[in-house]
Structure 1
Amino acid sequence: MENSVGGAEAERLMEAGLALMVAEDGRRPRVTDIVAAAGLSNDAFYRTFGSKDALVEAIVERGARTVVGYVRHRMAASAAGGPKERLRAGLEAVARQAADGESARRTRAVLANAGGRTARAGHVVVALVDALAALFAQPAAELGAADPIRSARTAAGAVVAALQYWLFAGEVPGRIEVEHLVGFLVAGVGAPDARRR
């Protein structure tokens, strides 16, 4: 999830593009609408991104980095509680993206555009799962997972899948749904490996 585009114009275009995606419930905005909302020209757009696909990829990648940064922050804030609490905090931070109204709208718009319409955007969900798995691997190891990487990736994939389900089903998960999912995944990460029986 590396962003090769920077600068003030890029930020304005990405913010305008994301705002339009959210306003249009995940539909891709037109370049003319993006540049008008950003107060820039078509020349500035194509000089910065080269194509609408490149802009969408940059928005999707930035959204994924934001989620990973938030998860990292929540896990660090729960460090004193031990590995189980760190893992719970990380999983809950992902699931909560569907519970908060504004976060849900933004995340839905980003994920709707990560669906493989461009050469790289479809890989952002994979990169998101891998980045989350990297954060979850250490607590998984501390909880005794025989294969911490695989366990962390399974938990990350499951929580991202649940997030996508809630977002695209239009459901807002309540406390009970989030706690059930998180408890289930934490128990799974800490469960004895069947191969050792």
Structure 2
Amino acid sequence: MSRAAPEAPKVSDIIAEAGTCNKTFYRYFSGKDDLVLAVMERGIRVVAGHLRIRMDHEPDSAGRVAQWVEGLLEQVSDPQLFSMCHATLAQMSAAAHRKASDEAIMVPLRELLTAPIAAMGRAAPERDADAVFHATMGTLRRYLGSGERPPAADVEHLVRFCLNGIGVGLGEPTYT
């Protein structure tokens, strides 16, 4: 996908790259959109595992949420991760059933936020987790669309914004 991006790869190109045949491809996938969904699901599981490890190293809930935001934005800071993420999201956006699949695929990322936010005593931890999730994903997609990497000050600002939004109260950042 990254070789063809931003254009959609042809099924024949995917089959050739995989070193397989049409029959094998269609045994597992009904079409290219199913493959894109499978790639996206796998990528989300990998990222969720990485975020879980980062979050587990934090002693408090606010630190876990901060690690989640920073770790997700790290996906657009690393050139190789940026390329893979950009190619996959570009194809995902082109999929006809994007909205339903996007919501379902992202559940593992969202679920990581709910427990630390609930541990803070928030009245609506699922809503708060959704707000942090959407703010961070919106920022991630903005940087993917622009082709730029987020400066540290933008990451710090988003972390503070999200933490202030869930009642941690860090105040205004001190950018250097």
What percentage of aligned pairs have identical amino acids? 34
RCO higher in structure (CA 8 A, sep ≥6): 2
- Aligned equivalent of 1:156: 133
CA distance in 2, matches of 1:154, 1:49: 34
RMSD (Å) for aligned C-alpha atoms: 1.9
Q: CA deviation at 1:188?
A: 0.7
**Does 2:93 correspond to 1:112?**
no
Q: Is the 8 A contact 1:140 1:190 kept in 2?
A: no
Where do 1:40-119 residues align within 5 Å?
Answer: 40-78=20-58, 80=59, 82-115=60-93, 117-119=95-97
Give the secondary structure class of the aligned counterpart of 1:115: helix
* Structure 2 stretches lacking a partner, 5+ long: 170-176
Question: Which of these residues, 5, 8, 15, is aligned with residue 28 of structure 1?
Answer: 8
Distance 1:130 1:48, change over 3 A: closer
CA distance in 1, matches of 2:15, 2:40: 18
Aligned length: 169
CA distance in 2, matches of 1:146, 1:39: 52
Query: What TM-score do you get using the length of structure 2 for normalisation?
Result: 0.86
Q: Which runs of 4+ in 1 moved over 6 A?
A: none
Query: What TM-score do you get using the length of structure 1 for normalisation?
Result: 0.78
Q: CA deviation at 1:91?
A: 1.1
More deviation, 44-53/168-177? 44-53
**Does 2:109 correspond to 1:132?**
yes
CA distance in 1, matches of 2:6, 2:100: 18
Q: Given residue 102 of structure 2, which amino acid in structure 1 is its aligned partner?
A: V
